[in-house]
Amino acid sequence: MSHTNKPEPISSLFRRNIPNLLTLANMLLGLIVLYLSIGNAGHAVLSCILILIAAVVDAFDGTIARLLGAESDFGKQLDSFADLTTFGLAPFAVLLTLEPIRATPTLLPVLALHPLAGAFRLARFNLGNYTDYFVGLPITAAGSIQACFGLVLSRFNFLSRWVLGSATLLTIALSLLMVSKLKITKHKGGRRANHQ
């Protein structure tokens, strides 16, 4: 007598994918930021706020995944794509819309270190088995710091030299911290097999 696999109930399927839906919401916020940054439309404040909201969403998806028993390798990979978009590429795009950074194309290679270092860190994370600590600064934290920096720059007028110098130093420091082997203890309640 053959056994037929019963289709998974829709309610169960939805429940299991709630963390993934939150991860996609995180990525959607990052994509909105990239859209707002196209053409230097002057939405820096809103963009930075959206990045910070995404950081909150990113924190909750891990907790919910644990509570629902929905941790998975798929979720871990999806989380990395979302985090690179929202906390790697989006802060980079926002900074490029701010004066005097926008008027200084020579700063582009330095600012590009942020998403590059973030991608390196996420790839290392996905290949490792880190349960009690992070290795290197999480890209979520680095992107949130850049978003806060962008908020400060967009709300106050500073000397060009100060803006360019601080943007350079902050980006280099965050990039080095992301690729470093610095161990940072995790709070209990990680994402699907944890958090980036």
| pTM for this entry | 0.86
- pLDDT category, 189, cuts 50, 70, 90? very low
- pLDDT category, 187, cuts 50, 70, 90? low
Average pLDDT score over the chain: 86
Per the CB < 8 A criterion, the answer to whether 86 and 37 are in contact is no
Q: What is the pLDDT of residues 60-106, one digit of tens each?
A: 887 787 787 767 788 889 999 999 999 999 999 999 999 889 889 99
User: Can you give the pLDDT at residue 115?
Assistant: 98
Quote the DSSP letter at residue 107.
G
What's the mean pLDDT in 175-183? Answer: 94
Least confident of 13-22, 143-152, 177-186: 13-22
Hey, what's the torsion of the CAs at 54, 59, 64, 67, to 10 degrees? Answer: 180
- pLDDT category, 188, cuts 50, 70, 90? low
User: Can you give the pLDDT at residue 7?
Assistant: 66
Cα–Cα distance between 71 and 193 in angstroms, integer?
6
What's the mean pLDDT in 174-188? Answer: 86
Closest CA to 91 of 33, 138, 35, 13: 33
Decide if domain 11-185 falls under CATH 1.20.120.1760: yes
User: Can you give the pLDDT at residue 125?
Assistant: 87
Is the pLDDT reported for residue 122 higher than 60? yes
Phi-psi region of 193 (alpha: psi -120 to 50; beta: other; left: phi over 0): left
Cα–Cα distance between 130 and 134 in angstroms, integer?
7
- pLDDT category, 49, cuts 50, 70, 90? very high
Closest CA to 62 of 138, 169, 142: 138
- pLDDT category, 14, cuts 50, 70, 90? low
Is the pLDDT reported for residue 5 higher than 60? yes
Is the pLDDT reported for residue 142 higher than 80? yes
